[in-house]
Amino acid sequence: MSTARALYPRLLRLGDRPAIVGHRCRSCGRVAFPPDPYACEQCGADVSELDEIELAAEGRIHAVATVHRHHRPEPPTPFTVATIVLDDGVSLKGVLKGQTGATVGSRVRGVTVPAGEDDDGVGLVDLRFEVVGPDGGGKD
């Protein structure tokens, strides 16, 4: 997908595998997503003490729910959202790609999906998570 761009480039990096953009505090080590815009929420260190890092878009489902109605046309309903604890320790909410096999404890990985085009006709992609198995094929 070398010609595609991330819909939210400040939060997602494209490559062989998509990566989530976060921050790590040099003072206390806290990892944050989304990146803290002003200071570390844990120790109060100035934003200059926060290093941008890439987080692997892989983890486990901590909670899961199916959405049947919402105020936007995308994604079309019904869709499944999950609280995901990434292997890097950060917890986030994400939309699942498909709905098969999504249960608490399932391993997931980030994948890109088409998200329209920008004004120049360049394809945009967004991040979704797909279930890779109930136990992740032995990865832990």
* pLDDT tens per residue across span 42-82: 999 999 999 999 999 999 999 999 888 888 877 888 889 99
Q: How far apart are CA 64 and CA 35, in angstroms?
A: 24
Where do the domains of the chain lie? Answer: 57-135
What is the residue type of 1? M
Residue 122: per-residue pLDDT = 87
First to last CA, the chain: 29
What percent of the chain has pLDDT above 90? 58
**What does the pLDDT read at residue 133?**
78
Residue 1 has pLDDT above 80, yes or no: no
Residue 3: per-residue pLDDT: 79
Which of 7-16, 19-28, 120-129, 131-140 has the least mean pLDDT? 131-140
3-state secondary structure the chain: CCCCEECCCCCEECCCCCEEEEEEECCCCCEECCCCCCECCCCCCEHHHEEEEEEECEEEEEEEEEECCCCCCCCCCCEEEEEEEECCCCEEEEEECCCCCCCCCCEEEEEEEEEEECCCCCEEEEEEEEEEECCHHHCC
pLDDT digits (tens, 9 = 90+) for 80-115: 999 999 999 999 999 999 866 789 999 999 999 988
Give 9-38 pLDDT, tens digit per residue.
899 999 889 999 999 999 999 999 998 889
- The CATH topology of domain 57-135 is OB fold (Dihydrolipoamide Acetyltransferase, E2P) (2.40.50)
- Per-residue model confidence (pLDDT) at position 140: 43
Backbone angles phi, psi at 138, to 5 degrees: 95, 0
